[in-house]
Amino acid sequence: MSNISDSPAEIERKSSTQDVGDQAKVYAARMRLQNALDQADALDAIREIAGNLIGTEEVAVFKVDKKRSELWLYWSFGIDPNKHSVLEVRREPRLKQVLGGKSVFRLKLSNENLLSTDDPVSALVPILVDGSASAVIVLFRLFTHKPGIEPVDIEICEVLSNCAGRAVEPYNAR
């Protein structure tokens, strides 16, 4: 964060240091997913990335059932699985965007919820396999010190979207 008394050179140095740190986080996320040994390790990588890089210990992965227009809870960490076992696409309008391959994020300091649940949802991220959404990562409540999803978090979610396929389709995605 720059102060009003910072020189232009100091502002630039702080900005580039932040950029390097952000890019290191994105790189770390990509490498962790690409180096996952198997399906269980890829799911663990999602948990680690959500907790250590994005800032939530409440995460779920829902597999897409296109025939039934539903998403079924496939794996979770830090949530009550009984409360979130199925998401019906017709009852969750934001899921249509996500199933189309686009992540959806709650705006900073917004009370808006992305799903019809009592638990706050911060992001909906498609897991793309062969170009289509095979699953959706739901990032719930962020840590209290974090006001919202940051630009670097959006980049990390893009990595999750494009590199986490092994977690849900272990033989098709690498």
pLDDT in tens, 14-47: 455 568 889 999 999 999 999 999 999 999 999 9
At what angle are helices 8-34 and 151-163 packed, to 10 degrees?
A: 20
Confidence of residue 1 (pLDDT cuts 50, 70, 90): very low
pLDDT reported for residue 107: 81
Give the span between the Cα atoms of 87 and 126, in whole angstroms: 14
124 within 8 A of 133, measured Cβ to Cβ: no
Mean pLDDT of 161-172: 84
Domain ranges of the chain: 8-167
Say which residue, 170 or 127, is predicted with more confidence.
Answer: 127
What's the confidence (pLDDT) of residue 21?
86
Using the 8-state DSSP alphabet, how is residue 117 labeled? S
pTM of the model: 0.86
In sequence order, which ranges of the chain are alpha helices (DSSP H)?
8-34, 39-48, 94-99, 151-163
| Per-residue model confidence (pLDDT) at position 109 | 67
Q: In the predicted model, is pLDDT for residue 174 greater than 50?
A: no
Can you name the CATH fold of 8-167? Answer: Beta-Lactamase (3.30.450)
User: pLDDT of 48-81, one tens digit each?
Assistant: 999 999 999 999 999 999 888 899 999 999 999 9
- The Cα 16–Cα 160 span in angstroms is 24
Please determine, for residue 6, whether its predicted confidence score (pLDDT) is greater than 90. no
Q: Which residue matches tokens 């770390």?
A: 28
Q: What is the pLDDT of residues 95-151, one digit of tens each?
A: 999 999 999 999 876 778 899 988 899 999 999 999 999 999 999 999 998 988 999
pLDDT mean over 148-158 = 95
